[in-house]
Amino acid sequence: MRFTLLLCLLFFALSTLAQQQAKVGCIGFYNLENLFDTEDDPLINDSEYTPTGSKLWTEELYQKKLTHMSTIISQIGKEVTPDGLAILGVAEIENKRVLEDLVKQPEIAKQNYNIIHYDSPDLRGIDVGLLYQPKYFTVTNSRALPVLIYNEDGSRIYTRDVLLVSGIFDGDTLHVLVNHWPSRRGGEAASRSLRETAAGVVKSAVDSLMNQNINAKIIIMGDLNDDPISSSIKKVLKSKRDIAKIKEGDLYNPMEDFYKKGIGTLAYQDAWNLFDQLIISSGLVQPNGGYQFYKAQIFNQPYMVQKEGQFKGYPLRTHAGDTYLDGYSDHFPVYLFLVKRL
């Protein structure tokens, strides 16, 4: 009820802006929870997602997964803009092929999403990627930024690269960094330095962009495997919660307010975490012309929630262990609106 009321108020506010001759753009992120095809790739550890693997991952289940993901994607942002998501960062996808299959789904085919994808060195083969509508966004440059972390013996810990995509968003130069930072396997404290290293890669990229233009418009998005108050975000990225105090060169994290209210994007051991985040540069906050930040949201419709059992109230996911649940993802997507007055 509360979420519906908030959406109604947001729709009214943005409808008013539209009447005042403004453009609205919607940008989001979604962890697709193991979007794997059914083929066994000998170069990665994907055997569980095959017809004979532990998940008994058949072509029928793969097609169901594509339908579920595209259904969610098709609805995000539609309460305000008929085109929905102009840009969507994604995580936990096996390869470019699954994204090609995804964007062909009837629910989102008319959006004509283009794809940016690079293979990451993650041992399971899961990558990040970017979908975008070319009518809104023209890509001028993209590259994968490696996250180099090592064990005590000097061997490398392979994780997802950071994807940096730059382009023109309806006249504005926009930079998007898509992330899926190292997990908390082994415990939050023991693995903290891994995510701090990933955050350092992002911070270096942001600093470089801001050295070229202090008012650069940057969106950091992804499954950070950390909450908005974690050291990787507060100490390394130096993000701030209070939008009124954002100064030139700062980073603003609109997701911190959700976290402080106990609202999350995934649940673990009966507690909510907010790992899926959107962090923006001061260039999207301060009035410098062009598109400016308006509002961030978590897309958590009732049908996306487990209704019974041990995980009642959690996001309704595709699998619990090897048990198929016919759900969507163990993460809720997040999105924001940018507004440009004409």
Bridge partners of 113, per DSSP, are none
Q: What is the pLDDT along the chain (342 residues), one digit of tens a residue?
A: 444 444 455 555 555 544 458 899 999 999 999 999 999 999 999 999 999 999 999 999 999 999 999 999 999 999 999 999 999 999 999 999 999 999 999 999 999 999 999 999 999 999 999 999 999 999 999 999 999 999 989 999 999 999 999 999 999 999 999 999 999 999 999 999 999 999 999 999 999 999 999 999 999 999 999 999 999 999 999 999 999 999 999 999 999 999 999 999 999 988 999 999 999 999 999 888 899 999 999 999 999 999 988 889 999 999 999 999 999 999 999 999 999 988
Question: Which residue segments constitute the domains of the chain, with CATH numbers given?
Answer: 2-341 (3.60.10.10)
- What is the phi/psi pair of residue 337, to 5°? -110, 135
Cβ density class 172-199: b for 16+ within 10 Å, e for less: bbbbbbbbbbbebeeeeeebbebbbbbb
C-alpha–C-alpha distance, residues 265 and 160, integer Å: 20
Query: CA dist 122 to 104, 157, 183, 210, 309, Å?
Result: 26, 9, 12, 29, 33
